[in-house]
């Protein structure tokens, strides 16, 4: 039997000790479309000069796991991934009061299992630290996100570490047909795309005597992105010309419509204002930006999750 992609399952759980999955984990099943998780190894080649010009020595070197988990965005199902990326924690509020998540300094590590259910083969990735995310939203489309990870090792097995993971919800994915966009505190209706990227600057720590990183260290939380809008006046362009600080808030919704996710960048500066002409149709302007720390929000980004009663 050959494994079919439709029979693959990704599950995740947070580790309390880096690189060590819980003894009897209750994993959470993820909703996803593609993943590129894989174990890579450095190679140790001899540089010895030999008269026959042929390689005589090759050893596998340091292990490292890299890759992305990508797909549509859903209410609730990616909460653990948002926390991993922002290095923070959702607030716990009573029903009816929204939960918020801000950028923090807590490094989480996870075990992620990739199961090929039809052939009974499993890969357990451990020590997985989130390197960041890439959000993409465009007109008349589903909203997507890609979470990037770095990890310690991949352990193959014929048995799953969690045969009955917690099932995901049936919430429909967020789309760009509903919800609202606010720029600089005012509603804006001519936006055709928004991209937001977070990079945590994660760096492995390696030591002699081991072929695996013994930890990963967080760097700075760097958020960049771009807003694409149809050119109708100078409001956006002037903010680049005059180095005017602004803000951006994107409310995402799907079905049910009362389960929303708001992505708020409270303080940003545009770093370019592209106004070229590429043809005779409606002309978009592309406005790349960098997010800055906002003293009022105490974060460079704030996620707000509806919490319906």
Q: What is the pLDDT, as a whole number, of residue 116?
A: 96
Q: Is residue 204 a part of any domain in this protein? A: yes
The pLDDT of residue 93 is above 80: yes
How many other C-beta atoms are found inside a 10 Å radius of the C-beta of residue 166? 11
Q: Is residue 284 a part of any domain in this protein? A: yes
| CB contact at 8 A, 218 and 275 | no
Q: Is residue 53 a part of any domain in this protein? A: no
DSSP code at position 37: -
**In the chain, how many domains are there?**
1
Q: Range of 288's domain?
A: 5-43+61-305
Q: Is residue 253 a part of any domain in this protein? A: yes
Percentage of the residues of the chain whose pLDDT score is greater than 70: 98
Of 202, 181, 184, 201, the residue nearest 192 (C-alpha): 181
Q: Which positions ≥6 away from 16 have C-beta within 8 Å?
A: 22
> CA torsion angle for 252, 286, 86, 115 (degrees, to 10)?
70
| CB contact at 8 A, 265 and 291 | yes
* Chain segment 178-224, per-residue pLDDT in tens: 889 999 999 998 999 999 999 999 999 888 988 999 899 999 999 99
Q: Is residue 269 a part of any domain in this protein? A: yes
Q: What is the pTM of this model?
A: 0.94
* Chain segment 23-75, per-residue pLDDT in tens: 889 999 999 999 999 999 999 988 889 999 888 888 999 999 999 999 999 99
CA–CA dist 307, 309 (Å, integer): 7
* Chain segment 232-280, per-residue pLDDT in tens: 889 999 999 999 999 999 999 988 889 999 999 999 999 998 777 776 6
The pLDDT of residue 115 is above 80: yes
Q: Is residue 273 a part of any domain in this protein? A: yes
Q: What is the pLDDT, as a whole number, of residue 57?
A: 86
* Chain segment 134-153, per-residue pLDDT in tens: 999 999 999 999 999 999 99
- Please provide the average confidence, as pLDDT, over all residues in the chain: 94
* Token couple for 126: 């451990």
pLDDT-derived band at 170 (thresholds 50, 70, 90) equals very high
Of 78, 102, 91, 109, the residue nearest 218 (C-alpha): 109
Q: Is residue 54 a part of any domain in this protein? A: no
Q: Is residue 50 a part of any domain in this protein? A: no
pLDDT-derived band at 281 (thresholds 50, 70, 90) equals low
Q: What is the pLDDT, as a whole number, of residue 275?
A: 73
Omega before residue 223 within 30° of 0, cis: no
């Amino acid at each position: 039997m050959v494994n079919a992609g439709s029979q693959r399952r990704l599950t995740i759980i947070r580790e309390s000790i880096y690189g060590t999955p819980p003894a009897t984990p209750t994993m959470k099943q993820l909703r996803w479309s593609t993943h590129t998780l894989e174990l890579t190894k450095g190679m140790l080649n001899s540089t010895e000069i030999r008269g026959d010009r042929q390689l005589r020595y090759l050893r596998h070197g340091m292990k490292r796991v890299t890759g992305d988990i990508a797909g549509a965005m859903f209410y609730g199902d990616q909460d653990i991934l948002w926390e991993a990326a922002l290095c923070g924690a959702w607030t716990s509020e009573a029903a009816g009061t929204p939960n918020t998540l801000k950028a923090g300094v807590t490094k989480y590590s996870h075990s992620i299992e990739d199961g090929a259910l039809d052939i009974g083969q499993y890969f357990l990735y451990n020590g997985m630290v989130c390197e960041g995310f890439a959000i993409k939203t465009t007109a008349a489309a589903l909203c997507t996100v890609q979470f990037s990870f770095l990890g310690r090792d991949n352990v193959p097995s014929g048995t799953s570490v969690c045969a009955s993971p917690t099932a995901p919800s049936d919430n429909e994915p967020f789309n760009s047909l509903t919800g609202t966009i606010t720029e600089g505190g005012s509603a804006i209706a001519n936006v055709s795309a928004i991209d937001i990227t977070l990079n945590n600057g994660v760096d492995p720590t390696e030591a002699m005597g081991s072929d695996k990183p013994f930890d990963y260290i967080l760097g700075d939380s760097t958020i960049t992105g771009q807003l694409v809008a149809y050119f109708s006046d100078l409001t956006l362009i002037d903010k680049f010309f005059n180095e005017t600080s602004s803000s951006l808030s994107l409310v995402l919704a799907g079905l049910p419509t009362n389960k929303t996710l708001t992505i708020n960048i409270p303080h940003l500066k545009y770093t370019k204002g592209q106004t070229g002409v590429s043809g005779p149709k409606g002309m978009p302007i592309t406005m790349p930006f960098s997010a800055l720390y906002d003293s009022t929000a105490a974060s460079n980004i704030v996620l707000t999750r509806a919490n319906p009663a």
